[in-house]
Amino acid sequence: MIWSAVVVFALVQRCVSKPLAKRWDDFAVKHSWTEIPRGWELHGPAPADHSMDMRIGLKQDRLDELISTLYKVSDPAHERYGAHLSAEEVQALVAPHPNTLGLVDSWLTHYDVDPSSIHRSGGKDWITLRVSVAQAERMLGTKYNVYRHSKTSEYVVRTLSYSLPTILTGHVDVVAPTTYFGTMRSMKSTSFKQPNIKPVDSDVNFVVDAVDAKTCSSIVTPSCLRALYKTDSYKPAATDKNSFGITGYLEEYANFADLQTFFKKFRPDAVGGNFTVVELNGGKNDQSNPGTEANLDVQYSLGISYPTPNTYYSTDGSPPFKPDANAPNNTNEPYLDWLNFILNQTTISQTYSTSYGDDEQTVPPDYANSVCNGFAQLGSRGASIMFSSGDSGVGGGACTTNDGKNKTQFLPSFPATCPFVTAVGATTQVNPEVGINFSGGGFSNYFSTPPYQTAATEAFLKSLGTKYSGLYNKTGRGYPDVAAQGQGFQVVIGGQIQSIAGTSASSPTFAAVISLLNDYLISNGKSPLGFLNPFLYSTGSSGLNDITSGSNPGCSTKGFTARAGWDPVTGLGTPDFGKLQALVGK
């Protein structure tokens, strides 16, 4: 009997150990595409020995508490309004549960991941490690290939589907690079040149003292915007504490010499002022290659907020994959690099503007959620985050879904659809302003209507009735939130003035006004505005100019139409600095 008991015990132990040994092979699909994302084509299998930096986003244990806190510190009616969190407090809320850390470490050990290659974020919610393609394929139960972008001729290593061991369900939010095909070069800049609008004479200084309806309706300059949005009499007083951040992608470089030419022409009192460049993840500062988008962002953010310190973040992905070489570090994805860098800084800027985006449906939901939650972290620390709403109205191109069904549908833009950022649409003309036809707007298919916006979107949907039913998500987060001028911007590029349009112009314009409000608050010993939307949709709405005409056609429709109150063309409207200053000063 003793011998039998020993045998039985050994057999039981063997049976128990087998599932433990195999549990890492029991996969569940995390995300997959039904077809190769549009604009990309299969080039061939990825070399097994190609190495890349894998990023693993772990489930943040107290994320609900973080978001709840974000709303409290951003709501003017709450007793905690303005009590933003420190980096350490945010890291404590996003830190994974110890069980998550233990399981993930066991997973990595099982696949012989070199411990010395692992880097953890401050909150330990992100892990970056170096792996080979063969190693990644085993870990994720997938097959990586090399894909080529038809327009940019860029090669990337991606997969159409990836899985995780079922035991990691609820512990890992996202893994990259996997199914997100967006790259620095393929993402959309939201600006474009306007050769049909003749730029102002380069030899003559151009400063207006008031809003000239004839001039400022056709060409836009800093003095037009400062007069229109009533910032021209405000003098920043907290430049030792308040700062402004601009995110740059697509190998776009802001040019120092062009800024001085711009100042001489349009803001003479700012001549000699400058900006700082932070090169991030391989980003550069090539002064021989001035970028349209970069110069637009820097010239107009400083043109309005001067002398507030401005930082341009030149953000690049890792080197693109070369089909004939074992190129390292092929992550090359937007947003995460910049977010992880900023969130790991002890001190951050109070205002940020980004003028890039993608069709929401091209961004895997797990990736979009992780990025959006990163913006929630940034907002909880007191940052106001602006994103351009896009330049395709309710959607560009054929406006069909990419789920294999090819259903006709409006195409919202991400990250503008993230409920934790302030999306900025575009207007044109003055006295009155009207919504411009390219202003991106609509409703998210990923994110539900946030609580601060429910009443505003319900009122619009009631006025819309059954029009466009089935083409958009009635329960989705509506965007844009606000708007600003968006065409005829006079920008110096390579020493020459050109006319530029797009919500890329609107975002830094609105953000610059917010930066001045933050300056006012800080100089009076108060907290910066932080996450704007709860304020804008409540007491702040009376500080905005409601835009009631204009539409944003797209997808073979006339699009939405601006109306009284919030609408998905111009949001709640354009800023009136004087009124907003009075509201935040109460």
CA distance 361 to 519: 37
Section 124-143 average pLDDT: 96
Task: List the single range of 44-48, 103-107, 395-399, 548-552 with lowest mean pLDDT.
Answer: 395-399
Lowest mean pLDDT, pick from 56-60, 157-161, 323-327, 533-537: 323-327
Q: What is the pLDDT of residues 30-41, one digit of tens each?
A: 999 999 998 899
Backbone angles phi, psi at 414, to 5 degrees: -110, 145
One-letter identity of residue 256: F
Q: What proportion of the chain, given as a percentage, has pLDDT over 70?
A: 88
Task: Give the SS3 label for residue 181.
Answer: coil
On whether the CB atoms of residues 530 and 71 are closer than 8 A, the answer is no
Q: Which residues pair with 53 in a beta bridge?
A: 130
Residue predicted with more confidence, 29 or 114: 29
Residues 6+ apart with CB under 8 A from 459: 565, 566
Provide the pLDDT for residue 16: 41
Average pLDDT of the segment spanning 274-300: 87
Of 147-161, 195-209, 280-294, which one has max mean pLDDT? 147-161
**pLDDT for the residue 287:** 82
Per-residue pLDDT averaged across 85-114, rounded? 96
Mean pLDDT value across residues 229-257: 91
Annotated binding site for Ca(2+): 546-547, 565, 567
Are the C-beta atoms of residues 274 and 259 closer than 8 Å to each other?
Answer: yes
Instruction: Report residue 314's pLDDT band, with 50, 70 and 90 as the boundaries.
Output: confident
Which two tokens mark 285?
């500062």
pLDDT at 204 over 80: no
pLDDT at position 11 is 45
Looking at residue 14, what is its pLDDT?
44
Residues 6+ apart with CB under 8 A from 242: 236, 308, 309, 350, 515, 518, 519, 522, 523, 528
CA 109 to chain centre: 34
Work out the pLDDT band at 323, boundaries 50, 70, 90.
low
Give the active site residues. Answer: 293, 297, 504
Residue with more model confidence, 57 or 252: 57
Helix (H, G, I), strand (E, B) or coil at 106: helix
Which residues fall in the annotated binding site? 546-547, 565, 567
Tokens 């002022």 belong to which residue? Answer: 273
Please state whether the predicted TM-score (pTM) of the whole model is above 0.85.
yes
The residue type of 364 is P
Smallest Cα–Cα separation from 61: which of 93, 89, 91, 87?
A: 93
Residue 1, pLDDT above cutoff 50:
no
Round the average pLDDT of the chain to a whole number and report it.
Answer: 89
DSSP 419: T
Q: Are 253 and 287 in contact (CB under 8 A)?
A: yes
Whether residue 8 has pLDDT greater than 50:
no
- The per-residue pLDDT for 18 is 42
Confidence of residue 520 (pLDDT cuts 50, 70, 90): very high
pLDDT of res. 201: 66
Pick from 3-17, 23-37, 54-68: least confident: 3-17
pLDDT value of position 268 = 95
Return d(Cα 201, Cα 179) in angstroms, integer. Answer: 48
Residue 152's alpha-carbon distances to 147, 265, 456, 532, in angstroms, are 12, 35, 40, 36
Name the token pair of 242: 């308040």
pLDDT bin (cut points 50, 70, 90) of residue 427 is: very high
pLDDT at 202: 55
* Mean local confidence (pLDDT), 328-332: 43
Q: Which pLDDT score is estimated for 19?
A: 41
Which single residue is written with the structure tokens 């393609």?
133
pLDDT in tens, 435-466: 999 999 999 999 999 999 999 999 999 999 99
| C-alpha gyration radius of the chain | 25
- pLDDT, tens digit, for every residue of 339-382? 988 999 999 999 999 988 888 998 999 999 999 999 999 999 99
Judge contact between 441 and 560, C-beta under 8 A: yes
Least confident of 71-85, 183-197, 238-252, 471-485: 183-197
Query: What is the reported pLDDT for 476?
Result: 98
Amino acid 324: pLDDT: 47
How confident is the model at residue 546, as a pLDDT? 98
Residue with tokens 């073979």: 556
Q: How confident is the model at residue 15 (pLDDT cuts 50, 70, 90)?
A: very low
Give the length of the chain. Answer: 586
Residue 4: the pLDDT is 44
The Cα 514–Cα 512 span in angstroms is: 5
Is 527 in contact with 238 (CB distance < 8 Å)?
Answer: no
Tell me the two tokens of residue 533. Answer: 């939307």
Whole-angstrom Cα distance, residue 396 to residue 440? 10
**Cα–Cα distance measured from residue 244 to residue 312, given in angstroms and rounded to the nearest whole number:** 9
pLDDT band at 210 (very low <50, low <70, confident <90, very high): low
pLDDT of residue 325: 41
Output the pLDDT for position 558: 97
Continuous H helices in 394-502: 454-464
